[in-house]
Structure 1
Amino acid sequence: MAMDGYGPGAQVPLQGAGGQTVAMNALASAAYRDVPVEEILKANNEQHKSEVRPGRFAKLFRPNLGEAYSRAVQVRMLGGARAPLIQSFGTEPQPIVEHCLAATNIRKRRDTLLTGITVLFGVLFLPGMLVWLAVFYLRRGLAGRTGTAGAMGTALLAGVGILIVLFLWKLPFTGLPGLYLRVMLIAPVVGWFLAKRVCEATARDLKDRWAGLLAGGGVAAKIPEAVPHAPDQTAAEELRQSLEKLTAEQRSNVVFYAGPKGILGMGTRWGSWHLAEELVPHAGKEIHAFRSWDVIRPIHDQLKLLERGTLKTGFPTPSVNHWIVSPVGEGAGAVARPDGEDIVAYQVKPHEIQRVCNENQFGKGNRHYLGVQFTLWDGQLVLTMMVTVTALLHTLRIEVTGHALGPVHPLFTTPPAPKSKTVSKSVRFWETKDVPLPLVDTDEVVRLAVRAPLTWFPPVLDHLGGRLVLPEPFGLRHAWAEQPWRHRFMADDAIRAATPVMRAVHAATIKFLEEHEVDTQRFTNRSMVLSGAVQDAAPKKADNYDA
């Protein structure tokens, strides 16, 4: 069947290149989690901190982690008036956002059924539903902090149930009013039973997707609303364009340096090595004039050859790119991407990159860096070595700096666990056993049923239940990244990468200078000193100056 150039169904994007799926799947799995939203605060680091803002009636309308995360990520990544994003190196943000959309769709289908149940068994018998909601609200207020309070809440629920039974038995009304009063108090209980069945089915689906992503399975994010089937489907077309815009911004060659925070998205700067010497011609010769871009080009070519080594064990294929680095304040709440005729699809044109490299070396303005990036550990470790060339007066300065972005917080890599509690055995009371708990408890059914009719009004739910506020400037990868130095092998990989990269840069530089009649003795001597020093490389806070 012809579709007028539009796809017949949801498009499933390819996973990250080179098997970079661990970090991406971990971040996507958060959309399916049913743990308390406060759990995400454990993933806060010193530089980037999320915030949970409670709502007006948080006890009844509070979101769980999956609901709050999906909502926050969708608004931040796809909003029409959103602020610029930070690139998510080592991952692809579009599949993560699509999983958030898919999780929202699953919950909406559940909420549609719950809304029907609520209308049929709740709204039509509103007084009874309000009585039961008041009981659950009081029970939640009592339960939660101590075992005694929980017992009191359960006793309250049982006591109200007994009173309702006595009330129905000794009801003074007869006829239609009496029948309505009886059904009014029983119908919410029947509705709760049906709602629990719906909630349990959805909970199993969400947990299976959560576990499947962390297990590395191909869990597809089905979002048919992102694929327009006809030209008049404007909402689907806008969503598709927003996803394309997200991918285009991910490919941007502009990054932001935030002082001690390092380059946003690449991690803090842990090491820096400088080769700076005076340009002196060979005896009886004259230096052939050159500019910084002329030095960068052979360095670029040499870094491209890093994967070709004499030994069998060499580097994995690196990504070598030219970057325009824009400075922002350490505490900046947002960044501003450059625009103009020299920018196309968030990419700075090659001629402008060359101009910045040659001219923006001193004073205000953006700077040019040549970066070689390794994505290791299935996307959990991103190593970036940045090279910049500065020519001031008679001095040529080659600077190599190392940046490391560590794994995502373990919160995101934790698989779902069956709900259970530890109790004492009845006979051997000095021993304990694990007792399985229901997949969805009573309080959760009530919470979901109350939230269901408001699913189509997200701002109202945010006001009533609360919301998750993401750290700014926001990028999916660096917002919840750990330092790699706590992982022995990751730290070793970061330190080991520095030596061959720096030597490749120096070799290309010295060869270029020789071709331009520069006496390279001082450069060679300095390079040998740095080669010795880099062998004892240790991670430091290179952007924290003792001044």
Structure 2
Amino acid sequence: MTDGFDFSPGAQIPLSGAAGQTAATFALAAAAYRDDEVEKIKEADNDWHQSTVKPPRPWAKIFRPRLGEAFSRAVIDRMLGAGRKPLIQSFGIEPQVVVEHCLAAQRIRRERDNWLSAVTVLCGVLFLPGFLVWLLVFVLRTTMSRREDKRAGMLATTLLVAMGALAVLFLVKMPFHGFWAWYARAAVVMPVAGWFWAKRICERTARDLRERWSGLLSGGGGVGAKIPEAVPGNPGDAAEQIRKELARLSAEQRSNSVFYAGPKGILGMGTRWGSWQLAEDLVSAEPGKEFHPFRSWDVINAIQGGLGMLERTSINTGGFTKPAITHWIVTPIGENAKEVARPGGTDVDAYTVRSHAVQDICNKQQFGSGDRHYLGVQWTLWDGHLVITMMITVTVLHNTLRIEVTGHALGPVNPLFNGKPAAKEKEVQKAFRFWETRKVKLPLIDTDEVVRLAARAPLTWYPPLLNWLGGSLALPEPFGLRHAWADQPWRHRFMADDALRAATPVLRVVHTAALKVLRDNGVDVEKFGNRSSVLSGMVQDASPRKADLYDA
């Protein structure tokens, strides 16, 4: 690998039931089992990240994918594909679990497609003339039934009935004799028999997929992602590549390198909603004497120690949960950049910038081009649906010390992913009391769906051709599973309260720790203390703002 990542031997695939899984993780994983139309994914897009649904060829709509099929294929290709672009961290979820469920869903569908391919060969290819005629009829019927005009739907049904009548008439009044007569009869009957066989196969798989979809959204208990094809049997096989890419995905998730994309904020953390700055001159507390020299890293270390005590309180009220405290290296990229490039070289180990390099950036790269250092304190709340991050940076330019605290909030996964499978039914008028309606249950797999799956099955072995014919799903770039489909937290009152309440104690801990370092090194802290008091008053009226949009 050119990135220098060291893959250890052996299969290291975490089980889907491992600790740390969250509701947000399972909500995204459940998308792999969905049977909605693929265009529905557009409902989950936010203002910054848009998915692209590539439509099928006008004459090949029968090969179009469903949402679960397209989502699984897109996620696997993007997150495990050879030579893939770097990913954005998915805070609040475990992306490896989502990928494992995509692999599991793909395996279930592949087993179904193997059976359907066998049915297609036995009942279709061997009796090709009849198969093509029936397929043409179903394509015409589907095209007409999708029109809004009710007469078109009636005409589609009439077409199918008429074709059935012609088939019966053809069997009775056979124009051929001998072998070709029996072959012609079989060409009419066998595609129909194959359709009934394929329907049973499709219904069995559909029930399995829906049970997994519903099970994940109900808490995920007992729904494991079985992916035996990811356990390598010998070096160099396809499973070994999957194992390596899963390990690479986990390492990238643990990286301390993030990217700032202008108004989009730090990718993966949500937009910046608040900013508070304390900046004053460094003056000795004793006139005529110099204060002791110190570095930005000394202040950051003191702040880190204070943040580690946030979960402790003198009043037993619950308070903060244990936060994750991380030294982040932030790389600036363009607002509309379509890809990112992670730092490399001897200062990076498995996508993580080493401690000595972090200290150098903190102390030296404070003005001009280059990466910047931030100390982050992060809480993952609401079962992964809310990620609160407070970022602290310390800079010294000439004799001015600046401490900046910014708030970032990543909201819940779009409600689309939390929708459980609904029973397929429709409302019809009652026979006698026609002014009333009643609900009628529809079959889980209808005629058109059986034909679609049977037509796609032989082509699933070569996805590029299938994507060219039936269309595909292109994920938003730069891609990260969590931020791509995250809503703003401000529409949920309690989530908004949690984000706003975290700002005040963090700001005060930062200022207290910084003032102690200044005082210990002989710096006059009177102006710093006055400024800190002003900020403490301002932060009590915290409200979300678009802090990354400068009005200039």
Cα distance in 1 for partners of 2:154, 2:321 equals 59
Structure 1 regions of 5+ residues with no counterpart? none
Equivalent-residue separation in structure 2 for 1:58 and 1:369 (angstroms):
51
Q: Is the 8 A contact 2:427 2:438 kept in 1?
A: yes
The match for 1:81 is 83
- Cα contact 1:11–1:227 (8 A) shared by 2: no
- 1:389 paired with 2:394, answer yes
TM superposition score normalised by structure 1: 0.97
CA contact (8 A) 1:272 1:400 kept: yes
1:90 equivalent to 2:89? Answer no
Deviations 1:42-94 (A, max 9, x none): 11111000010013244210000000000000000001111110000001111
The aligned counterpart of 2:161 is 158
Counterpart among 247, 256, 261 of residue 259 in structure 2: 256
Give the match for residue 368 of structure 2. Answer: 363
Evaluate the alpha carbon distance shift between residue 262 and residue 232 of structure 1 in structure 2; reply closer, same or farther with a 3 A threshold.
closer
Kept in 2, the 8 Å contact 1:16–1:92? The answer is no
Q: Kindly state the Cα deviation for residue 13 of structure 1 after the two structures are TM-superposed.
A: 4.5
Structure 2: which 5+ residue stretches go unaligned?
1-8
Partner residue in 1 for 2:199: 196
> CA shift at 1:427, angstroms?
2.1
Q: Which residue of 2 is the match for residue 109 of structure 1?
A: 111
Aligned residue in 2 for 1:291 = 295
Paired letter, 2:117: T
Q: CA–CA distance in 1 between the matches of 2:17 and 2:394?
A: 37
What aligned pairs does 1:294-309 form with structure 2 within 5 A after superposition? 294-309=298-313
Q: Is the 8 A contact 2:278 2:403 kept in 1?
A: yes
How far the C-alpha of 1:165 sits from its partner, in A, is 1.3
Deviation at 1:143, TM superposition (A): 1.1
Matches of 1:128 and 1:47, distance apart in 2: 50
**Could you tell me how far apart the structure 1 residues matched to 2:10 and 2:333 are?**
41
Whether the 8 Å CA contact 1:59–1:140 is kept in 2: the answer is no
- Residue of structure 2 aligned with 1:347, choices 346, 352, 377: 352
Whether the aligned pair in 2 keeps the contact of 1:322 and 1:371 (CA below 8 Å) is yes
The aligned counterpart of 1:21 is: 22
What is the match of residue 67 of structure 1? 69
Amino acid in structure 2 at the alignment position of 1:220: G
Tell me the alpha carbon deviations over residues 366-388 of structure 1, each in whole angstroms, 9 at most, x when there is no partner.
Answer: 00000000000000000000000
Looking at structure 1, the residues matched to 333 and 384 of structure 2 have their Cα atoms a distance apart, in angstroms, of 26
Mapped contact 2:17–2:224 kept (Cα < 8 A): no
* Aligned residues between the structures: 539
* RMSD of aligned Cα (Å): 1.3
Q: Percent identity?
A: 63
Letter in 1 for 2:482: R
* 1:540 to partner: Cα distance: 0.5
User: What TM-score does the superposition give when structure 2 sets the normalisation length?
Assistant: 0.96
Are residue 54 (structure 1) and residue 58 (structure 2) matched? no
Distance 2:504 2:13 in 1: 46
Kindly state the Cα deviation for residue 174 of structure 1 after the two structures are TM-superposed.
Answer: 2.0
Deviation at 1:233, TM superposition (A): 5.4
CA distance in 2, matches of 1:36, 1:357: 49
CA distance in 2, matches of 1:10, 1:342: 28
C-alpha distance in structure 2 between counterparts of 1:196 and 1:134, whole Å: 18
User: Structure 2 CA distance, aligned partners of 1:296 and 1:257?
Assistant: 21
Q: Partners in 1 of 2:188 and 2:142 — Cα distance?
A: 20
**8 Å CA contact 2:54, 2:474 repeated in 1:** yes
CA distance in 2, matches of 1:255, 1:217: 30
| Matched residue SS, 2:455 | helix
| Cross-structure match for 1:310 | 314
1:403 corresponds to which of 408, 414, 421: 408
C-alpha spacing 1:251/1:10, structure 2 compared with 1 (3 Å) = closer
Kindly state the Cα deviation for residue 286 of structure 1 after the two structures are TM-superposed.
2.6
Alpha-carbon separation, structure 2, partners of 1:334 and 1:428:
61
1:187 deviates by 0.5
| Counterpart secondary structure, 1:477 | helix
1:416 aligns with 2:406: no
Q: CA deviation at 1:283?
A: 2.7
Deviation of residue 314 (structure 1)?
1.4
Q: Does the C-alpha gap of structure 1 residues 10 and 174 become closer, same or farther in structure 2, counting only changes over 3 Å?
A: farther
Contact 1:10 1:223 in 2 (8 A): no
- Structure 2 Cα separation of the partners of residues 233 and 332 of structure 1: 35
Residues 388 and 408 of structure 2 are in contact (CA less than 8 Å); yes or no, is this contact kept in structure 1? yes
Deviation at 1:257, TM superposition (A): 0.1
Q: Does 1:377 align with 2:414?
A: no
Alignment of 1:314-325 (within 5 A): 314-325=319-330
Q: Which amino acid aligns with 2:116?
A: L
* More moved, 391-400 vs 153-162: 153-162
Displacement of 1:232:
3.9
1:160-179 counterparts in 2 under 5 A? 160-179=163-182
* Counterpart-to-counterpart distance in 2, 1:276 and 1:11: 47
Q: Deviations over 1:103-159 (max 9, x none)?
A: 000000001110111100000000000001100111111111323322221111111
Question: Which of 418, 443, 453 in structure 2 is aligned with 1:448?
Answer: 453
State the partner residue of 1:429. 434
CA deviation after TM superposition for structure 1 residue 234, in Å:
2.1
SS at match of 1:263: coil
Shift of 1:10: 7.0
